Amino acid sequence: MLLTDHILFLDGEAIVIDKPAGLPVDAPRDGSLSLENHLDSLKFGFKRWPLAVHRLDRDTSGCLLLARNPKAHGRFTQAFEAREVEKAYLAIVDGIVAGTSGTIDLPLAKVSTAEDGWRMVGDADGSRRGKPSISHWEKLGEADGRSLLRFRPETGRTHQLRVHALEGLGFPLVGDPVYGTGGARDRTMLHAERLVVTRGAKPPIVAEAPFPERFVALGFVAPEGAEPTRG
């Protein structure tokens, strides 16, 4: 696999790649391959390795922003923290969602047990001191008892869309091994479709990842108006 074939945007301070599903951003404890093993091929003439600005789960494919120098990394990180980044995700949920669109406003808290490890849960009553979490959604299609959704998260909490799908809409993401019925060989059906980062006087970073073949395999087609970018 060559990540140089997955470039969606490239200029002097930023790279956006279409991260393949199954590739972790951080090095796993078992020593298997991660994004770090590919960074040398993404220098494009620079001496430094690019640095990931944010995280996508191992199974999540799509737009991942890398900064090509420390100053850019700092600015992009601040943009994410200030919610100045436009993000859109595609997801397949295991059921037919009622309605066509809506907003999920459900704080999320982290819980942990010795038996099951950690996970995120909804905290509607505030008893767990959950952090505010807001996701907007629209339904794009249905196939074989499943729904294709587009999420536009306002916040960027860990596992936000996975928990909002389950607790806010009543259905887990297809293939999700933690919040759904997915097994070890399944891939959670979540794709970072679009990323826009404003940069003041500079043109914004705009990237859109192609519709995943794994979504096509489940009977869905790319939504109208999706125009994948290639840097």
Q: Which residues are catalytic?
A: 57
Q: Please report, to the nearest 10 degrees, the dihedral formed by the alpha carbons of residues 182, 185, 190, 196 taken in order.
A: 150
Longest dimension (CA), the chain: 52
Let me know: does 145 contact 151? Beta carbons within 8 Å: no
The tokens for 142 are: 């249905």
User: Beta partners for 17?
Assistant: 7, 64
Can you say how many angstroms the Cα of residue 100 is from the centroid of all Cα atoms in its chain?
22
Nearest Cα residue to 15 out of 79, 72, 74, 68? 68
Q: Per-residue DSSP letters for 149-202? A: EEEEESS--TTHHHHIIIIIIS-PBTT-TTTSS--TT----EEEEEEEEEETTE
Query: How far from 180 is each of 126, 130, 150, CA to CA, in Å?
Result: 24, 21, 19
